[in-house]
Structure formats: C-alpha cells, structure tokens
Amino acid sequence: MVASVKMVSVILDNFPKYRKLFDKIKQTFGVYIAPVSGMFVREIHLKWAAATVARSEYGPIAKIAHSLEVIGHLDIGEKGIRQLILPHFCEGKGPKDLNEVPFMTVESELDGGQSGYIVVWNSHPLSIAAIRFSNIHILPPYTYGGEGINLTVRGVPSGISQFLKTCRELLPPDFVKVVEIGDNESLIESILTPRQMKCVKIAASSGYYDHPKQIKLRELSELMKIPRSTLQEHLNRAELAMMKWSSEQIDSE
C-alpha cells in the first residue's frame, strides 16, 4: 500500500508544470497509509459563508483578519489545539489584536514577525470537538476569518457522520460536499492497468524518477526483460492516466 502512495508521488513529481496536481495527489493519497486495506474513507468539504461567520462566535476574527490560514497543528490537547497560522490581516490590524478573541491566544510570532507566521492556541468548541474524534483527520491547510471558513475532513464514515452532526449543532455549515473514497490500492487499480503498475513500481524503486535518474530507460528495460519501446509506452500511459485523473479531481471541486 505504501509503495502505491510513493508511486503516485514519484510520477507526478517529475512534472514541474503539474505541481498543483502533484500537491493535490500527494495530499489525497497520503492519508491512505493509515486505514486498513479495504476500508472505505469518507471526505467532506465544509464551507461557512462570510455572513455566517460574522454572526457567529468567529465574528470578532472577521473584524481583524480576512483569513487565518492554518498550515499545521503543532500540538493537540483536551482543551484546544496549537495552530501554525499564516494570517491575512485587515488594514491596521495585527497579531496582538487576535488576543481580543475570547478563544484565541497568540503565543509567538516566528522569526520575530518577519516570516509572517504566528503560533496560536485555539480553544473554540468546534476545534475541541474536532480533536475528540479519533477516527477523523482535519486536513491542513484550511482557513477561517472574515472571508468565511473552509474545512476538509477525512476519516471513516461513522466518524465523519458524528463530526458533521456536531458541526450542525455548534455552527451549521452553508455548504457540505461528501465524497466516498476506497482505499489507495483499489483507487490505483482503477486508474492503472496491472502491467502499468508493475512498470512504474519497478521504475520508481530503481531510481528512474529520481533527480538525477539513477537508471536509464535502456537499463530498466533490460532489468525488466521487455523491449525499451514497450516499457516506454507503459510508463507514458501510466503518467498520462495519472495526470488525467488528477486534473478531473481538481475540475470537480
């Protein structure tokens, strides 16, 4: 299963112009290392409009920042979560103003404020609710602030359902999109043929997709004991299939 994840990442990492697609694929496939093979995963995209945020407990943030982009979770506790944030402040506002929000405490400004990143302790009930569910994962980056809230959550169906129920009790979202996804093996198999999968796996493990390449196409074809033209065709078709699939995922959002 892990090999399939690496396979996808390696393929896409060789196409700089598809960096956005690579990031999308890496994010999508990365979380499938954890679930048991064969288990279906559910993903939900939640959005709260700016007007909804303004009327909620997040209202004070709307007056301070257009958006707070959560890059990662530094620590998770029973009473809150420590977030690494890239803020986009309203004119005349700054990190210290966030301390006026009842459930937020700015703990530090990285690099003395030069980098723009800040570390914030967030104890909002919605944040606490999210960390109480052990079978879901909140996917950074996500944003909240004056422009609204955008959140993506992935996990087993029962956990997702409970989290969505909690959200509707605390702050009903304006938009919910639910996506059912199988495990990474079944997903990869639906995109590539068995022969393509084998060729790409061997190519990746042999260093064909490294920079610089650790093995040439001719050497790889000799290793696999198939004609170079045939191997090239399998690899090209696999790469094109992954590009097409990833593009469709972005277009569907």
Are residue 166 and residue 47 in the same domain, yes or no?
yes
Coil, helix or strand at residue 194: helix
Q: What is the DSSP letter of 201?
A: H
More confident residue, 248 or 62: 62
Region at 203 (left for phi over 0; alpha for psi -120 to 50; beta for the rest) = alpha
Are residue 197 and residue 78 in the same domain, yes or no?
no
The closest alpha carbon to 107, from 76, 73, 82, belongs to 82
Are residue 191 and residue 160 in the same domain, yes or no?
no
Are residue 131 and residue 247 in the same domain, yes or no?
no
**pLDDT value at 249 more than 60:** no
Residue 151 · residue 138 · CB < 8 Å: yes
Residue 141 · residue 149 · CB < 8 Å: no
Percent of the chain whose predicted confidence (pLDDT) is above 90: 42
Residue 127 · residue 75 · CB < 8 Å: no
pLDDT tens track for 183-218: 555 566 667 888 888 998 899 899 998 888 899 999
For residue 166, count CB atoms less than 10 angstroms from its CB and return exposed for 0-12, middle for 13-18, buried for 19 or more: middle
Pick from 127, 146, 180: which residue ends a domain? 180
pLDDT score for 92: 95
Most trustworthy range by pLDDT among 15-19, 73-77, 98-102: 98-102
Number of domains in the chain: 2
**pLDDT value at 13 more than 50:** no
Pick from 165, 180, 195: which residue ends a domain? 180
Provide the terminal-to-terminal Cα distance of the chain, rounded to the nearest Å. Answer: 26
pLDDT tens track for 33-63: 333 344 567 889 999 999 999 999 999 999 9
Are residue 32 and residue 47 in the same domain, yes or no?
no
Q: How far is residue 238 from each of residues 8, 12, 108, 216, measured CA to CA in Å? A: 10, 11, 46, 18
pLDDT tens track for 125-175: 888 877 777 678 888 889 999 999 999 988 888 888 889 999 999 999 999
Amino acid at site 134: S
Cα–chain-centroid distance for residue 33?
14
For 209, other C-beta atoms within 10 Å of its C-beta total 22
Are residue 76 and residue 144 in the same domain, yes or no?
yes
pLDDT score for 217: 94
Pick from 180, 214, 232: which residue ends a domain? 180
The closest alpha carbon to 232, from 203, 191, 189, belongs to 203
Tell me which residue range forms the domain holding 60: 42-180
> Does the reported pTM lie above 0.75?
no
**pLDDT value at 64 more than 80:** yes
Are residue 12 and residue 49 in the same domain, yes or no?
no
Are residue 59 and residue 170 in the same domain, yes or no?
yes
Q: What is the DSSP letter of 117?
A: -
Are residue 191 and residue 129 in the same domain, yes or no?
no
Instruction: Look up residue 9 and give its two tokens.
Output: 């990442």
Are residue 81 and residue 194 in the same domain, yes or no?
no
Are residue 75 and residue 166 in the same domain, yes or no?
yes
Are residue 60 and residue 169 in the same domain, yes or no?
yes
More confident residue, 124 or 13: 124
